[in-house]
Amino acid sequence: MNIKVKGTAIKLGSDINTDLIISGRYKFSITDMKELSRHIFEDLDKDFAGKIKPNESIITAGENFGMGSSREQAPLAIKEAGILAVVAKSFARIFYRNAFNIGLLLIEADTDKISENDKIDIDLDKGILKNETKGSLIEIKPMPNVLKALFLDGGLVNHFKKHQGLEL
């Protein structure tokens, strides 16, 4: 179950709540996820969506990423925007669960030595994040095989359909 991700860092701080990920003013008025994803992190940076390179960008953040509401729109909007993964020092528990339920890859690691636009290469099996820009290695928190399986299958519902049950 080898998972490797390679991309460019978009750096955020700590305590990023779900309303910063996708503002409450959009959560109920926009139901199309493609449209909703165009508004992610808008309250932090009105041009944030323009920084995203779909299937290349990786969000890096500090502690407690995803705190706040339990709505799935936050991880869904991140995934729909084409973000490959979120690397943070820690995640809010409900956000963490919601992300894996929908197949968004979350990785826990010390992000202090990652800067905006650094090129990073992640190997979950080796437990290493390589900052190619700085030539440094960062150890990542091991991920249970069950979460790897959910990610590879595209989330909990897809995993359930694929295995006609909860085969872990």
Separation between Cα atoms, residue 9 and residue 136, nearest integer Å:
14
The contacts of residue 29 (CB under 8 Å, 6+ apart) are: none
Q: What is the pTM of this model?
A: 0.92
**DSSP conformation class of 68:** S
The residue assigned the tokens 């091991």 is 142
Q: Contact, 40 vs 81, CB < 8 A?
A: yes
Query: For domain 4-163, which CATH number applies: 3.20.19.10, 1.10.760.10, 3.30.70.890, 3.40.1370.10?
Result: 3.20.19.10
Burial class (CB in 10 A: 0-12, 13-18, 19+), 62: middle
pLDDT in tens, 24-58: 888 778 889 999 999 999 999 999 999 999 999 99
pLDDT in tens, 104-147: 999 999 999 999 999 999 999 999 999 999 999 999 999 888 88
Separation between Cα atoms, residue 124 and residue 146, nearest integer Å:
13
Q: Contact, 1 vs 152, CB < 8 A?
A: yes
